[in-house]
């Protein structure tokens, strides 16, 4: 039987505020345990929450970016459950009256087609602390620095049918929140986490199958793997005559397996009710309009601008606007070197490869846009060849100095002195008489070209890559034809 | 609506409350009384009344996004039963 997969996503996005959603503690990542957990975060008796306006503003900005209804009245609820990293015994969240109502996100797939994914709603809530289970003599250690960090939870409709669509949707959300500047989007620090609801049904049928929820995926790659794994598991189970249990599952990225975390029967009864410590939120239409008018450039608009003002292909523009940091780097690089195409090639080529290899975000790139622009300018003004530039790039990456310093120190300047090149060409020709004869005796044009290129290669080798390639071509041709 | 012993035991488990065996009959009857009162309140006609999220007719005040808290870990951890390396220690929980 042919099966169809149905996927819905719940996405938690940490908002880039300075302080927590309900307290004045810092949200900075990486501080010593519990040094950013105040009396409110610790749920000390008598403390009261006060909502951070910036968190509210960021949630509204997200809603505006996806053309959603912004609810002018919105209410916080308590979601009750017991876990030691949740000191109050409830999470302050929103249930029936969330800040952001239904919206729509369009994603582009690899084959160029577009797909619309409906957003059910997005709401504000607080993050929990962290539990550490190792090395505490059979006890668990609790760090409450993250408790109270503002989140928006974005809930999609079950509109995705493949892992590719789910990943495209997740990436689009990432690009929207980073373009808006409402989240740093740093997945390695948990700034964006995905819960994936998955079910399967016979192709052509309407009724939804029983779904499972795989929680807390924190990279696009893990998400893709976890979806594939769960879809296979469900289809195998049904085809073997079994049935799917509604449950929450955990994905183990080290072993690429998933296991059941809790079944529907064990599920918490969250006993939601309106939070008596927080009054309803009321937002003026003028407040929303002002945010709408000042919304930063969104990914779609940026992409269109990159195509029109930098003459980039749609593919390049798509890659370069995937997140704001990359887009900003590109614009700085392109302006500084004055060549958008070269800037795009270097950013998506050497620079991306090095960042990936070292697992570094572009925000922490060891080579600034200005420094890379200097290198590109040296290719443009023929000081070095593209090939040598890669060597210079590597030295720059290793912190050996600026492009000019490295070119000077290593003597990498391109040789454009035709006398010097001529001497090299002559030397290579006399040392490789057999190759020359072979070339001259060849009658098939294609093969002749290949043999010519082999000789160019020898000259370049003799010059240690420094000879100006087009001059080598010219001079060699002249010599051979004479 | 009435509840029996097994309901009370289940609610106690969900609420992580340890009940003394002997107290269960009394608690069961108290909760039945409370539920009877709720049943009575349910008789009030509320069809035309818009539900409130809060008893006060007021709206939430907002804070500006500033870090105003300093690190008081040492003071807070003095009243914690057990701490280590700055972490609060609790009986092992793993899901």
Would you call A136 and B62 a contact, using CB atoms and an 8 Å cutoff? Answer: no
Query: Could you tell me if A459 and A476 are in contact, meaning their C-beta atoms sit under 8 angstroms apart?
Result: yes
Query: What is the chain B residue with the closest CA to A145?
Result: B87
Would you call B73 and A38 a contact, using CB atoms and an 8 Å cutoff? Answer: no
A48 touches chain B (CB under 8 A): no
Residue B82: list chain A partners with CB under 8 A.
139
Counting residues of chain B whose pLDDT is more than 70, the rounded percentage is: 97
Residue A25: list chain B partners with CB under 8 A.
67, 69
pLDDT classification of B2: cutoffs 50, 70, 90: confident
d(CA A427, CA A450): 20
**Interface with B, mutate which of A24, A39, A146 (most B CBs under 10 A):** A24
Quickly count: other Cβ atoms within 10 Å of residue A98's Cβ.
24
Report pLDDT for A471.
85
Query: Could you tell me if A169 and A8 are in contact, meaning their C-beta atoms sit under 8 angstroms apart?
Result: no
d(CA A215, CA A212): 10
Identify any residues that bridge with A142 across adjacent strands, giving them in sequence order: A131, B88
3-state secondary structure of A141: strand
**Nearest-CB residue to B66 (from A19, A38, A269):** A19
Would you call B69 and A26 a contact, using CB atoms and an 8 Å cutoff? Answer: yes
Helical packing angle, A324-337 and A369-380, nearest 10°: 40
Beginning with the edge strand found earlier in the chain, give each strand of the sheet holding A139-143 in spatial order. Answer: A130-132, A139-143, B87-91, B83-84
Of A1 and B25, the structure prediction assigns the larger pLDDT to B25
The alpha carbon torsion through A8, A14, A15, A19 (nearest 10 deg) reads: 150
Report pLDDT for A267.
66
Report pLDDT for A213.
96
What's phi and psi for A273, nearest 5 deg?
-155, 160
Query: Could you tell me if B69 and A38 are in contact, meaning their C-beta atoms sit under 8 angstroms apart?
Result: yes
Residue B65: list chain A partners with CB under 8 A.
17-19, 52-55
Report pLDDT for A265.
65
CA–centroid distance for A426 within its chain:
52
Of B10 and A374, the structure prediction assigns the larger pLDDT to A374
Residue A182: list chain B partners with CB under 8 A.
none
CA–centroid distance for A286 within its chain:
33
Residue B15 clears pLDDT 90, i.e. is over it: no
A281 touches chain B (CB under 8 A): yes
A269 touches chain B (CB under 8 A): yes
Q: What is the DSSP letter of A347?
A: I
Query: Could you tell me if A424 and A457 are in contact, meaning their C-beta atoms sit under 8 angstroms apart?
Result: no
Report pLDDT for A242.
93
Quickly count: other Cβ atoms within 10 Å of residue A86's Cβ.
21
Q: What is the pLDDT along chain A (482 residues), one digit of tens a residue?
A: 899 999 999 999 999 999 999 999 999 999 999 999 999 999 999 999 999 999 999 999 999 999 999 999 999 999 998 899 999 999 999 999 999 999 999 998 888 899 999 999 999 999 999 999 887 888 999 999 999 999 999 999 999 999 999 999 999 999 999 999 999 999 989 999 999 999 999 999 999 999 999 998 999 999 999 999 999 999 999 999 999 999 999 999 899 999 998 777 666 678 899 999 999 999 999 999 999 999 999 998 999 999 999 999 988 998 899 888 999 999 999 999 999 999 999 999 999 999 999 988 898 999 999 999 999 999 888 888 888 899 999 999 999 999 999 988 888 887 778 888 888 888 888 888 888 888 888 888 888 888 889 999 998 888 888 888 888 888 988 888 87
Residue B72: list chain A partners with CB under 8 A.
38-39
State chain B's mean pLDDT as an integer: 91
d(CA A175, CA A190): 16
pLDDT classification of B10: cutoffs 50, 70, 90: confident
Query: Could you tell me if A374 and A392 are in contact, meaning their C-beta atoms sit under 8 angstroms apart?
Result: no
B89 touches chain A (CB under 8 A): yes
Identify any residues that bridge with A141 across adjacent strands, giving them in sequence order: A132, B89
ipTM: 0.85
Would you call A25 and B63 a contact, using CB atoms and an 8 Å cutoff? Answer: no
Would you call A133 and B60 a contact, using CB atoms and an 8 Å cutoff? Answer: no
Q: Work out the minimum CA distance from B26 to partner chain A, whole angstroms.
A: 24
B82 touches chain A (CB under 8 A): yes
Query: What is the chain B residue with the closest CA to A260?
Result: B95
**Nearest-CB residue to B63 (from A50, A133, A142):** A50
d(CA A473, CA A463): 13
């Amino acid at each position: 039987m042919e099966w169809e997969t149905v996927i819905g996503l719940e996405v938690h996005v940490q908002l880039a505020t300075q302080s927590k959603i309900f307290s004045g503690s810092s949200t900075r990542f990486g501080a010593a345990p519990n040094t950013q957990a105040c009396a409110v975060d610790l749920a000390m008796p008598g403390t009261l929450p006060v909502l951070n306006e910036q968190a509210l503003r960021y949630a509204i900005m997200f809603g505006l970016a996806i053309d959603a209804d912004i609810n002018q009245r919105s209410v916080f609820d308590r979601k009750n459950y017991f876990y030691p990293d949740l000191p109050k015994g409830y999470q302050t969240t929103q249930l029936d009256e969330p800040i952001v109502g239904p919206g729509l996100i369009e994603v582009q797939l690899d084959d160029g087609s577009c797909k619309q994914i409906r957003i059910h709603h997005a709401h504000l809530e607080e993050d929990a602390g962290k539990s550490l289970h190792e090395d505490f003599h059979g006890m668990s250690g609790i760090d409450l620095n993250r408790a109270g960090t503002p989140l928006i939870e974005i809930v999609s409709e079950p509109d995705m049918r493949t892992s590719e669509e789910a990943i495209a949707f997740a990436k689009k959300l990432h690009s929207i929140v980073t373009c808006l500047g409402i989240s740093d989007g740093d997945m390695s620090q948990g700034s964006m986490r995905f819960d994936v609801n998955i079910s399967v049904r016979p192709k052509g049928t309407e009724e939804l199958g029983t779904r499972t929820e795989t929680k807390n995926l924190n990279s696009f790659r893990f998400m893709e793997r976890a979806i594939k794994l769960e879809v296979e598991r469900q289809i195998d189970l049904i085809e073997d005559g079994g049935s799917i249990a509604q449950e929450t599952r955990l994905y183990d990225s080290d072993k690429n397996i998933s296991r059941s975390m809790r079944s529907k029967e064990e599920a918490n009864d969250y006993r939601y009710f309106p939070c008596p410590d927080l009054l309803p939120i009321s937002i003026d239409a003028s407040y929303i309009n002002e945010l709408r008018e000042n919304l930063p450039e969104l990914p779609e608009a940026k992409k269109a601008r990159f195509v029109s003002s930098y003459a980039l292909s749609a593919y390049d523009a798509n890659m370069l606007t995937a997140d704001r940091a990359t887009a900003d780097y590109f614009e700085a690089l392109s302006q500084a070197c004055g060549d958008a195409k070269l800037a795009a090639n270097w950013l998506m080529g050497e620079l991306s490869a090095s960042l990936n290899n070292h697992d570094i975000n572009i925000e922490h790139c060891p080579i600034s846009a200005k420094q890379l622009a200097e290198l590109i300018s040296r290719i443009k003004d023929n000081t070095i060849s593209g090939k040598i530039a890669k060597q210079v790039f590597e030295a720059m990456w290793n912190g050996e100095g600026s492009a000019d310093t490295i070119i000077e120190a290593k003597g990498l300047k391109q040789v454009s002195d035709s006398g010097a090149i001529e001497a090299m060409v002559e030397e290579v020709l006399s040392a490789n008489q057999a190759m020359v004869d072979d070339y001259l005796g060849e009658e098939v044009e294609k093969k002749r070209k290949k043999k010519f290129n082999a000789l160019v290669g020898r000259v370049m080798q003799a010059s240690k890559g420094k000879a100006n390639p087009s001059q080598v071509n010219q001079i060699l041709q002249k010599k051979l034809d004479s | 609506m009435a509840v029996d012993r097994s309901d009370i035991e289940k609610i106690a488990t969900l609420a992580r409350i340890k009940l003394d065996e002997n107290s269960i009959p009394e608690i069961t009857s108290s909760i039945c009384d409370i539920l009877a009162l709720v049943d009575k309140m349910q008789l009030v006609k509320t069809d035309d009344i818009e539900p409130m999220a809060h008893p006060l007719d007021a709206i939430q005040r907002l804070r500006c996004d500033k870090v105003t808290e300093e690190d008081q870990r040492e003071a807070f951890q003095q009243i914690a039963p057990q701490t280590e390396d700055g972490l609060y220690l609790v009986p092992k929980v793993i899901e």
